[in-house]
Amino acid sequence: MGEYALRKSDRQSIKIGTCDDMYYLRYEDQDKVVPESGSDFGTRWRIPFPDEDHILPGDYDSGFRQVDLVHRMVQYNPSEEEYQGCKFYRLDCIRFFDGSLYPVVCGYESDEGDRWSYSERFRDDWINILPYIEDEDLKLRLLKYL
């Protein structure tokens, strides 16, 4: 089921996501749209990449854009899922849970394949994720979620 909203800047109807996944909307851009009847905001949000600042809500080319996490991650939040151990990790999206925003990480057996070929997906803490993000501009932006 798709989630749709009216973009305030131009009163255009846009797709913001599907069920809990707000593929085409950043958490901080919620105030730029009004959900249409039968639609609502989900719990997982698009990562706020600085190079996408010029893009209006709903106008992103694709769903969640992931961030490769350098080196092997050694910490995780085991409360949400059983940790399996993978060779390659990506920051997938941002999740609103219990009044806070958390990183959602996907683990892969290799760095090949699409974002849906993950072996595990779990919520973690920013303090565990930020050291593994190479893009300093993005890292500075994500610090606000701590």
pTM for this prediction:
0.86
Asked if 96 and 37 sit in the same domain, the reply is: no
Instruction: Judge contact between 59 and 12, C-beta under 8 A.
Output: no
More confident residue, 69 or 1: 69
Residue 55's identity, in one-letter code, is I
Look at residue 62 and tell me if it is in a domain.
no
Asked if 79 and 141 sit in the same domain, the reply is: yes
Asked if 140 and 77 sit in the same domain, the reply is: yes
Q: How do residues 25-59 score in pLDDT, each as one tens digit?
A: 999 999 999 999 999 999 999 999 999 999 999 99
- Report the pLDDT value the prediction gives residue 30, as an integer from 0 to 100: 97
Full residue range of the structural domain in which residue 109 is found: 67-145
Asked if 76 and 128 sit in the same domain, the reply is: yes
* Tally of structural domains, the chain: 2
Q: In this structure, is the dihedral angle defined by the CA atoms of residues 43, 58, 114 and 108, taken in order, positive or negative?
A: negative
Question: What whole-number distance in Å separates Cα of residue 13 and Cα of residue 146?
Answer: 33
Look at residue 83 and tell me if it is in a domain.
yes
Look at residue 128 and tell me if it is in a domain.
yes
| % residues pLDDT > 90 (the chain) | 69
